[in-house]
């Protein structure tokens, strides 16, 4: 069986890969002092959810097969990737605000994962167009190699 490299992108844009002959669908990521790291790659969503429950703050993202073509390149019969990201809202009050004081609702922090998820919902965009839009918003992101 051929080996496949799977790519998982953390909310900060860091990319994590695993090369294997197994099939993966999701990766569980956790943020630590050195940034985001991989807790594990899983072949089913229910297994990823079980792994996520092992660590507070862990999130689930899609594991995207990356070695069949360069990221951003379009392949004629390639399946379009989807993003499955779970995040927990912060329960900490804003600076200078106590828990008793009501604060005005703020928009959730915009992450690369959320941006990609929004772009994937637009059926008119192909994979290359999604990558192009992400690079427009975050020019310093690495999109390959």
Residue pair 58/42 in contact by the 8 Å Cβ criterion: no
- How far, in Å, CA of 108 to CA of 114, rounded? 10
Q: Flag whether 30 is in a domain.
A: yes
C-beta atoms surrounding 21 within 10 Å: 8
Instruction: Give the tens place of pLDDT for each residue, 31-86.
Output: 988 889 999 999 999 999 999 999 889 999 999 887 644 444 444 444 444 555 55
Judging by DSSP bridges, how do beta strands 4-9 and 15-20 pair with one another? antiparallel
For residue 71, give the nearest of 126, 127, 112, 20 by alpha carbon. Answer: 127
pLDDT digits (tens, 9 = 90+) for 89-137: 555 555 555 555 555 655 556 677 777 778 788 888 887 888 888 888 8
Residue 84 is assigned to a structural domain of this protein: yes
Angstrom distance (rounded) from CA 143 to CA 76:
19
Helix (H) or strand (E) run with residue 132 in it: helix 127-137
Which strands, in side-by-side order, build the sheet including 26-32? 35-42, 26-32, 59-62
Alpha-carbon distance 106 to 135, whole Å?
A: 25
Domain membership flag for residue 144:
no
Q: Would residue 142 count as lying in a domain? A: no
Domain count, the chain: 1
Residues in the chain: 145
Domain that holds residue 73: 4-88+98-137
Is pTM beyond 0.95 here?
A: no
């Amino acid at each position: 069986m051929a080996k496949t490299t799977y790519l998982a992108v953390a909310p900060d844009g860091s990319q994590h890969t695993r090369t294997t002959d197994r099939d993966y669908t999701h990766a569980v990521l956790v943020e630590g002092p050195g940034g985001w790291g991989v807790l594990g790659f899983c072949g089913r969503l229910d297994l990823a959810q079980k792994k996520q429950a092992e660590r507070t703050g862990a999130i689930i993202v899609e594991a995207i097969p990356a070695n069949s073509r360069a990221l951003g390149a379009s392949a004629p019969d390639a399946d379009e990737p989807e993003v499955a990201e779970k995040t927990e809202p912060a329960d900490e009050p804003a600076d200078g605000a106590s828990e008793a004081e009501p604060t005005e609702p703020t928009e959730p922090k915009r992450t690369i994962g959320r941006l990609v998820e929004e772009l994937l919902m637009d059926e008119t965009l192909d994979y290359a167009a999604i990558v192009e839009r992400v690079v427009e918003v975050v020019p310093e992101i690495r999109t390959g190699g």
